[in-house]
């Protein structure tokens, strides 16, 4: 009967939408170790790349779900939150090329991004987690959608909490994920306002140190000068990011806002005291983030080259 057929269809689509950590065990058994080696090589060449790869996965998942849309040329890459700051595309391209050699047309760019984020975390002493796989790649990307959906460094706490909530992530997930700023660097243009506004939520000594390499006016050569997001151990995955916030030494406005008398202060304090809690919450939040709106089954495609549709 029609009802039975409909139910069977419904069952098959819900099963399809289920990601699994064993997705490539049969059809590309060496895929994951190939990606891992590519990521390890890239991070040993440049430690900062670990942060960039984690951020790339995050910026992918927040726009249209985890579908590798950020890797397509001329789309999300041009959004203000990505242009000139999102990086690591060539590392993903290289991992993809190596995987294509052994299993052509099998492993999606979206899955490579998800695996790369985990492998990058491990490469700098961060937690590991079991990455669920089976995502497919989108055939569209939109810079205007990215500008709408991605957090900005000027966002207030309520705005950040609601952006994450829209994606099914709690305030705790948001604070844990922000902890990836224990790694990486930011450009002067993204923290200039904070170090020059003489606000009460910034340590004076910290601000003056940062001013040395970040001129007060835009358009000067120093605009793209970098500063570490965690001034203590910028190349190691640890909980110093949270300790910095307690001392009013968060580099970005969106970092310090997590510890500024609001609802997330207690989570920041907890993570500053317990690196183990932070690491396990970070791993759980990354798994949840990887579940945002994936394309599965016959949706999308498996791109042969990550920057272009087939």
Q: Give CA–CA dist 102/91, Å, rounded.
A: 17
- What is the distance between the alpha carbons of residues 130 and 80, in angstroms, rounded to a whole number? 32
Q: How far apart are CA 183 and CA 121, in angstroms?
A: 10
Q: How many CA atoms lie within 13 A of 71 on its CB side?
A: 33
Phi and psi dihedrals of 269, rounded to 5?
-60, -45
Give the C-alpha separation, 249 to 263, whole Å: 19
CA atoms within 13 A on the CB side of 295: 20
Using CA atoms, how far residue 304 sits from 56, 95, 98, 179, in Å, is 19, 12, 11, 33
Is the torsion defined by CA of 61, 169, 25, 300 positive or negative? Answer: negative
First-to-final CA distance of the chain: 39
User: How far, in Å, CA of 188 to CA of 164, rounded?
Assistant: 26
* Residue in the structure block whose two tokens are 């190939």: 34
CA distance to 13, 133, 154, per residue, from 56 (Å): 28, 17, 19
Instruction: Find residue 185's DSSP bridge partners.
Output: 228
Helix (H) or strand (E) holding 54: helix 48-61
SS3 308: strand
Note if 59 is an active site residue: yes
With beta carbons less than 8 A apart as the criterion, state whether 57 and 66 touch: yes
Question: Radius of gyration (Cα) for the chain, nearest Å?
Answer: 20
Residues forming the active site: 59
């Amino acid at each position: 009967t029609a009802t039975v057929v409909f139910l069977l269809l419904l069952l098959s689509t819900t099963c399809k939408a289920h990601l699994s950590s064993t997705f490539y065990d049969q059809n590309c058994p060496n895929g994951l170790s190939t990606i891992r080696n590519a990521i390890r090589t890239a991070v040993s060449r440049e430690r900062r790349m670990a942060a960039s790869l984690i951020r790339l996965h995050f910026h992918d998942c927040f726009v249209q779900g985890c579908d590798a849309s950020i890797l397509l040329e001329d789309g999300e890459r041009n959004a203000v939150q990505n242009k000139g700051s999102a990086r690591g595309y060539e590392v993903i391209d290289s991992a993809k090329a190596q995987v294509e050699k052994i299993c052509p047309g099998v492993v999606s760019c979206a899955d490579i991004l998800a695996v790369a984020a985990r492998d990058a975390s491990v490469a700098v002493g961060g937690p590991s987690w079991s990455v669920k796989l089976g995502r497919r790649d989108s055939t569209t990307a939109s810079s205007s959608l990215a500008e709408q959906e991605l957090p900005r460094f000027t966002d207030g706490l309520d705005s950040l909490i609601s952006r994450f909530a829209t994606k099914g992530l709690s305030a705790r997930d948001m604070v844990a994920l922000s902890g990836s700023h224990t790694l990486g660097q930011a450009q002067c243009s993204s923290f200039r306002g904070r170090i020059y506004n003489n606000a009460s939520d910034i340590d004076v000594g910290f601000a003056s140190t940062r001013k040395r390499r970040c001129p007060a006016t835009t358009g000067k050569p120093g605009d793209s000068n970098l500063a570490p997001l965690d001034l203590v151990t910028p190349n190691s995955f640890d909980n110093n990011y949270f300790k910095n916030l307690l001392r009013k030494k968060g580099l970005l406005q969106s970092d310090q806002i997590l510890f500024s008398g609001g609802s997330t202060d207690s989570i920041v304090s907890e993570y500053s005291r317990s690196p183990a809690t932070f690491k396990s919450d970070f791993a759980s939040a990354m798994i949840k983030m990887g579940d945002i709106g994936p394309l599965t089954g016959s949706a999308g495609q498996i791109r042969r080259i990550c920057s272009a549709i087939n």
